[in-house]
Structure 1
Amino acid sequence: MTSLDKPTEDAQQDSRAVTEAALFEAFGGVRGMVETVVPGLLFVTIFTINKDLHWSAIAAITVSLLLVVVRLVMRDTVKHAFSGVFGVAFGVVFAMMTGNAKDFYLPGMLYTLGLALAYIITTLAGVPLIGLILGPVFKENLSWRTRNPGRKKAYAKASWAWGLILLAKCAILFPLYWWANTAQLGWVLVALKIPPFLLAVWLTWVFLAKAPAPIDVFAEMEAAEKAEEERKAALAEERGEERGEATAGRHRRDV
């Protein structure tokens, strides 16, 4: 390894570490995955045992609220836990309205289908959804669209990966919604909760780790503000010197 190779490898490692940290922040990490799985797992477990929709629904919504309370007590971010509560609440309300326990899963399945289409459509439109999600996390906002074509290409690849993986998941779940019973659908859905998500996150990491570094637009704005302040300060100092010279000139004339 030459002295020139070392900084390059260090920069690549730093870029990968930043990418990994940003992905964990954006998607909730291990804890976020647990909070996503537990309510549905509890619902299908109880329903498999006693076939009681009401107790299964109550257990699922209760554990979702407890996860939010734990986050609040620990003063941690609650966005992932709250999203779980809303997802479970929609499922509970829908299942209670129809009286069909399988409908507990239908809102989440429709959301997955809509999200898959959103990833694909936004990518075809030239504004890949994963870039819109991760841009603020990387402090680059939308700079990748016009100033960083390599990064835009990586976001497009990642969005295609998310869209196709979620479509494949829907291709499994929707037929089961019609043909399988509630317990079968529930266990398959729980089994498909984490692996497709991890695959999509891993592919996103692979694409972004090889992409150009993000442009920190916040640092650029801070630098521009600092430069403007320095310019104003220099201008004020120059004007002060000019006024001082003018005053000195008048004083000499008076003398």
Structure 2
Amino acid sequence: MTAGPDGDPRPDTDATTRIPRVGAVDEDAPTGPIPVVPAASPPSDAGSTGPTRRIDPVEDEQPERGERSSPTLMEQMGGVQGIVASTVPVAVFVIVNLLFSLQPALIAAIAAGVVVAIVRVARRQALQPAVSGLVGVGVCAFIAYRTGEARGFYLPGLLYSAGLGLAFLVSIIVRWPLAGVIWHGINGHGQGWRRNPRMLAAYSWASALWVFVFAARLVVQGWLYNADEETWLGIARLAMGYPLVGVAIVGTVLLVRRAESSAKV
């Protein structure tokens, strides 16, 4: 103990609390290298025996790399070029039959199908559309050859239109409109649109539009088939092909976009 200026006892700071001065060396501090303490590893889950996996939030939120989604319906069909390629033999038959006769038309249609397949192989494109078109024209050519009439070539198309029209009609009744199923299948989307009443109604109207297209084909071409008007039947087959399909596609897009806009409001 030491005495302060006023005579009061004051604790000895050197004996109790020692305040080091700047630049002073503490004689009582240990000398030598400072030991390095390893950082503690993060605790692992109880009972785990294997190595702990580091969780990266950014990596975990992203889908695993290397995982490829399945091809869409449009990709399986070869895209727009594939759809066009599948109908080239039919168009060739119609034109050649109008200009010449049945036998040259059958040969030209089959040759066109083979050429389309060779071209797609050379370009390393999907072969399925060309094969489908070749098989289809082969069936049509076989029926026309067996019947000896050019109108026999159009009979499978009439049956095909009747089947599709009936399928679209039934899909509307069971509330699975094929316009929506096919549209989302082509784009690789799911079928969650059915939970939206506006989208369901829009695709139902679009499916009704496709029913009208197939019914129109069946009525007009069926009448020409029964009337044995081979020339006009071929013209109707071309005129009611892509033009009517284009109108139906435009109508479907307009109906769906209108429904999507209304759903966002």
TM range (shorter): 0.5 to 0.7
One-letter identity of the residue aligned with 1:45: I
Counterpart position of 2:97:
47
One-letter identity of the residue aligned with 1:57: L
Counterpart position of 1:140:
189
Higher relative contact order (CA 8 A, sep 6+): 1
Distance (Å, rounded) in 1 between the aligned partners of 2:202 and 2:104: 45
Task: Please give the per-residue CA displacement for 1:13-38, whole angstroms capped at 9, x wherever unaligned.
Answer: xxxxxxxxx99769876535643553
Q: Does 1:88 align with 2:146?
A: no
Task: Please give the per-residue CA displacement for 1:196-253, whole angstroms capped at 9, x wherever unaligned.
Answer: 100011011111222339xxxxxxxxxxxxxxxxxxxxxxxxxxxxxxxxxxxxxxxx
| Correspondence list, 1:11-160, <5 A | 31-32=81-82, 34-51=84-101, 53-145=102-194, 147-160=195-208
CA shift in 2, pair 1:170/1:32, >3 Å: farther
* Partner secondary structure for residue 165 of structure 2: helix
Distance (Å, rounded) in 1 between the aligned partners of 2:259 and 2:116: 36
- Range with bigger deviation, 64-73 or 91-100: 64-73
- Is the CA contact (8 Å cut-off) linking 1:57 and 1:92 kept in structure 2? yes
Distance (Å, rounded) in 2 between the aligned partners of 1:60 and 1:36: 11
* Partner secondary structure for residue 186 of structure 2: coil
Task: Please give the per-residue CA displacement for 1:20-78, whole angstroms capped at 9, x wherever unaligned.
Answer: xx997698765356435532232133223332x23211210221222122223222234
Q: Does 1:189 align with 2:213?
A: no
One-letter identity of the residue aligned with 2:238: V
- Range with bigger deviation, 136-145 or 25-34: 25-34
Task: Please give the per-residue CA displacement for 1:72-120, whole angstroms capped at 9, x wherever unaligned.
Answer: 3222234433332232121011112222221011101110111111111
Distance (Å, rounded) in 2 between the aligned partners of 1:87 and 1:80: 10
Q: CA RMSD of the aligned region, Å?
A: 2.6
- Is the CA contact (8 Å cut-off) linking 1:150 and 1:211 kept in structure 2? yes
CA shift in 2, pair 1:204/1:81, >3 Å: farther
Q: Does 1:167 align with 2:215?
A: yes
- Is the CA contact (8 Å cut-off) linking 1:130 and 1:158 kept in structure 2? yes
One-letter identity of the residue aligned with 2:97: F
- Is the CA contact (8 Å cut-off) linking 1:87 and 1:108 kept in structure 2? no
Distance (Å, rounded) in 2 between the aligned partners of 1:26 and 1:161: 25
* Structure in which a larger fraction of residues adopt helix: 1
Counterpart position of 1:178:
226
Counterpart position of 1:244:
none
* Partner secondary structure for residue 135 of structure 1: helix
Cα drift, residue 159 of structure 1: 0.8
* Partner secondary structure for residue 136 of structure 1: helix
Task: Give the unaligned 5+ runs of structure 1.
Answer: 1-21, 214-255
Task: Please give the per-residue CA displacement for 1:155-189, whole angstroms capped at 9, x wherever unaligned.
Answer: 21111111112111211100000114322211221
* Partner secondary structure for residue 126 of structure 1: coil
Task: Give the unaligned 5+ runs of structure 2.
Answer: 1-71
Q: Normalising by structure 2, what TM-score?
A: 0.63
Q: Percent identity?
A: 33
- Is the CA contact (8 Å cut-off) linking 1:33 and 1:194 kept in structure 2? no
Q: Normalising by structure 1, what TM-score?
A: 0.66
CA shift in 2, pair 1:143/1:26, >3 Å: farther
